Amino acid sequence: MILITFAVAGSLTGYAGKKIMGFTGIEAAGIYIPIYVVVVTLIWPLMVIVISVPMGQFVFFRGYLKKMGRRIRGKRKDQMNKEQMNKEQGEMINGQRSMFKVQTGTGNQKRLAIFASGTGSNTQQIIDYFTSPSVKWHVTVSLIVCNKPGAGVLQIAQTKKINTLLIDRERFFYGDAYLDVLHETKIELIVLAGFLWKIPLPIIHAFPKRIINIHPALLPKYGGKGMYGNKVHEAVIEAGEKKSGITIHYVDEHYDEGDIIFQATCDVLPADTPETLAQRIHKLEHKHYPAVIERLIRNSPGKKFHS
């Protein structure tokens, strides 16, 4: 009955459209056709509703139109939310730039920028490490860079009163890559801690051997594009590896191919799942990443060392 309703409504729509166009007196095909298309587009839903009444399908089509209306309103709302988010992001960046010029520190302080996309567990460990009284080196986390609004790492930065920069994909990859902000903040080392975007070449060239990343496996195995989080642990377990671990390495223009700085290992147990292996890997990350950063700064970025 639904198909019959559509067919009858379509026929009546075509007939009514031609009648309406006849009253206009338009004959030129270049004008007639587009206007005719608009007319039948407007008439067709009305015809479907009219025909659906005697066919007993009125309730179905009324519900269908309501559903379509909700979808359209939902898309408009999403678009408005996105536009508002972009506006707020722009305001955040503009507001921060003035702070960066002031909060540059003094003396021989080494300033870090942490790039993160998620909850920020490694970021928390790094911040806590360099605010601990037992660490005598003058190191400060000056900037948290994030590409995901609402990410947990932004809350950590707010709690610790650390400047944040919420970055936009277009500017990051096709604009100035926020190099002006990094230079104004006098960043000396960039630390990636669960940052899922590839670092663009302008930043790599501006910070040679001064960008490091931590990978949840023993590179060169199980690295490359798309290999992050549980995807790495799944691959390690499926391959039957007996050992896994972490790799801290310099960042270059290729995914996970920069020179290795440090590695630490852990056992892969027969009963391991990606989640249980991830827990063991996280412990290695939290234990070693802050200490490796300190040793890098102490020995000057660019040097290799072993555990």
pLDDT per position as a tens digit, 140-180: 899 999 999 999 999 999 999 999 999 999 999 999 999 99
Cα 102 to chain centroid distance, Å, stands at 29
| Mean pLDDT computed over 83-87 | 51
The neighbour count for residue 164, using CB atoms within 10 Å, is 18
Domain match, 36 and 184 both:
no
At residue 8, the pLDDT reads 74
Q: How confident is the model at residue 122 (pLDDT cuts 50, 70, 90)?
A: very high
Q: In terms of domains, do 39 and 118 share one?
A: no
Confirm whether 205 is domain-assigned. Answer: yes
Q: What whole-number distance in Å separates Cα of residue 3 and Cα of residue 9? A: 10
Asked if residue 147 belongs to a domain, the reply is yes
Q: What's the pLDDT at 158? A: 93
Confidence of residue 9 (pLDDT cuts 50, 70, 90): low
Of 56-65, 141-150, 164-173, 195-204, the range with the lowest mean pLDDT is 56-65
Is the same domain home to 51 and 114? no
pLDDT the model gives residue 97: 46
161 belongs to a structural domain: yes
Report the 10 Å Cβ neighbour count for 260: 16
pLDDT band at 89 (very low <50, low <70, confident <90, very high): very low
Residue 183 bears catalytic tag: no
Same domain, 295 and 171: yes
Count of domains observed in the chain: 2
The rounded distance, in Å, linking the Cα atoms of 70 and 67 is: 5
Are residues 17 and 121 located together in one domain of the fold? no
In a domain, 206, yes or no: yes
Confidence of residue 90 (pLDDT cuts 50, 70, 90): very low
CA 291 remoteness from chain centre: 28
Does residue 68 sit within a domain? no
pTM given for the model: 0.66
Q: Grade residue 60 by pLDDT with cuts at 50, 70 and 90.
A: low
Q: Tell me the residue type at 238.
A: E
Residues 173, 283, single domain; the answer is yes
The predicted pLDDT at position 42 comes to 80
Judgement on whether residues 155 and 288 belong to the same structural domain of the protein = yes
The one catalytic residue among 138, 205, 215, 233: 215
Q: Which of 56, 77, 96 is the last residue of a domain?
A: 56
**Residue 212, both tokens:** 């490091």
pLDDT of residue 30: 74
Q: What is the pLDDT at residue 18?
A: 78
